[in-house]
Amino acid sequence: MASEKQIAANRANAKRSTGPKTLVGKMTSSRNAYRHGLSVPLRPDPATSAKIDAIALALAGEQASEDRFTSAVDYVRVQFELLRIRFMRAELMAKAEIGNIGAQELRRLAALDRPERYCLTRRRRASRGL
């Protein structure tokens, strides 16, 4: 059982770690996921959807079951998202001067790691159904 001193310390820590309090802080934190646009999946563009379906059909095979085709579609869609992330990384690297890269550019590059890892996990899960 926690002592009174520990309970008071826990409450003090909780008050400091509950997120932004000011309107500016809340607005800033609400835009964190939208900074690079990678938190949203690809838009359902008819041309891209047709390409995804064609690649998935070739990947799954002509006589594929519905589950296998769905896994193939998921796999190809995630692969397109990975390409988008890697393209953005390449653009940022091209803009940044190697000897003169700033903290902001490094933060933007590091921000691409999380969506990339998430896509790699999704791709691995989709590949299990293939």
> Would you list the DSSP string of 83-119?
HHHHHHHHHHHHHS-GGG--HHHHHHHHHTHHHHHHH
Question: For the residues 92-112, what does the mean pLDDT come to?
Answer: 79
CA distance 68 to 77: 14
Q: For residues 102 and 65, which has the higher predicted lDDT (pLDDT)? A: 65
Q: For residues 63 and 39, which has the higher predicted lDDT (pLDDT)? A: 63
Q: Is 37 left (phi over 0), alpha (psi -120 to 50) or beta?
A: left
Mean pLDDT, the chain, integer: 84
Q: What was the pLDDT predicted at 92?
A: 83
In angstroms and rounded to an integer, the radius of gyration of the C-alpha atoms of the chain is 22
Q: What was the pLDDT predicted at 30?
A: 72
Q: What was the pLDDT predicted at 3?
A: 92
User: Lowest-pLDDT range, 47-56, 75-84, 94-103, 115-124?
Assistant: 94-103
Q: Is the pTM of this model over 0.85?
A: no
